[in-house]
């Protein structure tokens, strides 16, 4: 069993289950990932062992740690698969709490249905290993602020009594998060769209800010174009990403190289010990 320090701040080309089996137990603060659900996209012909991933995520997640699982459902012959909820129930069966079921609402979805309303969202399941150890709630401005007469203690007669109360200038956001998709919405990195399914950088960033603190470890076991790792780096978290596709690893590498150049870090590329896969080791001077 290797120390987690041998993995952090790296992008690794490998099957994620093999990597997780070598990682120490309870070493990851946060996982943010989106699996290749229901074969809705062609991921270079690769398939994934969902149950093996879920079991190993539970093993490597710290007590109080979080897994953010971004997923949708296939519609076939007018019938939704409900794979998302089947997966959520399995995560629950291996020991996770279903802490929240959040919605990722797409501002500008292009997919239309002739006999149903346009599907404009995906689920963001928040699985926790026990009670979350970190929660930094994101805030939004309130519509009204300052002092105002507010009703309270409504009795059986239905008459409202009022008292002077202060309306706070901001409140915690709801669990429905809205993001633009496409170029300059999802990301401004054109190379990212060589991957068939890129989720918004802001989505990853918002979860990283919500469930971790600086110096924590953020993991993406199917890192694809590297969005989770990029946003972890930009927000001074350690990161670990892996993907079985060499093509996607190259995309993630280029995006992270650009990020490192902007942040003044340095890059080191090397082969792993058994020479079966290439790794990108990105070492942050600030972490």
pLDDT digits (tens, 9 = 90+) for 192-221: 666 656 789 999 999 999 999 999 999 999
Distance, CA of 128 to CA of 28 (rounded, Å): 12
220-224, 250-254, 278-282, range with greatest mean pLDDT: 220-224
| Averaged confidence pLDDT in the chain | 84
pLDDT digits (tens, 9 = 90+) for 104-133: 998 887 667 788 888 889 999 999 999 999
Q: 């320090």: which residue's tokens?
A: 5
Distance, CA of 211 to CA of 277 (rounded, Å): 31
Residue 160 DSSP class = P
Distance, CA of 202 to CA of 140 (rounded, Å): 15
pLDDT of residue 195: 63
CATH class of 4-138+174-283: alpha beta
**pTM beyond 0.85, yes or no:** no
Compute CA distances 170 → 136, 139, 144, 167, 207, whole Å.
14, 6, 9, 9, 19
- Count, in order, helices (H) and strands (E) of the chain: 6, 16
pLDDT of residue 278: 36
Distance of CA 236 to the CA centre of its chain: 16
pLDDT digits (tens, 9 = 90+) for 53-110: 999 999 999 999 999 999 989 888 889 999 999 999 999 999 999 999 999 998 887 6
pLDDT of residue 182: 67
pLDDT of residue 282: 40
pLDDT of residue 1: 73
Compute CA distances 127 → 71, 111, 114, 260, whole Å.
13, 28, 34, 31
Distance, CA of 188 to CA of 177 (rounded, Å): 20
179: left (phi over 0), alpha (psi -120 to 50) or beta: beta
pLDDT digits (tens, 9 = 90+) for 151-198: 776 667 767 778 888 788 899 999 999 998 766 566 766 666 666 567
Residue 85 DSSP class = H
Residue, of 148 and 88, whose pLDDT is higher: 88
Is the pLDDT score of 13 beyond 60?
Answer: yes
pLDDT of residue 268: 45
Contact 221, 16 (CB under 8 A): yes
Contact 84, 35 (CB under 8 A): no
Q: pLDDT tier at 42 (50, 70, 90 boundaries)?
A: very low
pLDDT of residue 36: 81
Is the pLDDT score of 279 beyond 60?
Answer: no
Is the pLDDT score of 269 beyond 60?
Answer: no
Residue, of 266 and 156, whose pLDDT is higher: 156
Distance, CA of 10 to CA of 229 (rounded, Å): 9
Distance, CA of 91 to CA of 27 (rounded, Å): 18
Q: Domain boundaries in the chain?
A: 4-138+174-283, 139-172
């Amino acid at each position: 069993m290797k120390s987690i320090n041998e993995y952090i701040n790296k992008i690794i080309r490998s099957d994620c289950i093999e990597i997780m089996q070598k990682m120490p137990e309870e070493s990851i603060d946060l996982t943010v990932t989106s699996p290749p659900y229901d074969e809705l996209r062609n991921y270079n012909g690769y398939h994934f062992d969902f149950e093996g991933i879920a079991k190993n995520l539970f093993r490597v997640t710290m007590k109080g740690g979080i897994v953010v699982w971004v997923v949708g459902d296939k519609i076939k012959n007018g019938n939704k698969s409900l794979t998302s909820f089947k997966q959520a129930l399995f995560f629950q069966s291996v020991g996770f709490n279903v802490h929240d079921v959040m919605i990722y609402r797409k501002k500008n979805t292009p997919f239309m249905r002739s006999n149903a309303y346009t599907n404009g969202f995906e689920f963001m399941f928040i699985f926790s290993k026990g009670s979350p150890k970190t929660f930094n709630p994101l805030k939004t401005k309130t519509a009204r602020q300052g002092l105002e007469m507010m009703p309270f203690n409504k009795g059986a007669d239905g008459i409202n009594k009022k008292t002077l109360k202060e309306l706070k200038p901001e409140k915690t956001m709801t669990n429905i998060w809205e993001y633009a998709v496409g170029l300059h919405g999802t990301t401004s990195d054109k190379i990212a769209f060589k991957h068939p399914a890129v989720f918004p950088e802001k989505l990853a960033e918002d979860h990283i800010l919500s469930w971790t603190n600086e110096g924590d470890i953020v993991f993406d076991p199917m890192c694809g174009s590297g969005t989770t790792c990029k946003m972890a780096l930009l927000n001074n978290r350690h990161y670990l990403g892996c993907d079985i596709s060499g093509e996607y690893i190259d995309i993630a590498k280029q995006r992270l190289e650009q990020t490192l150049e902007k942040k003044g870090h340095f890059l080191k590329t090397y082969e792993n010990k058994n020479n079966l896969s290439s790794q990108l080791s990105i070492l942050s001077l600030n972490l």
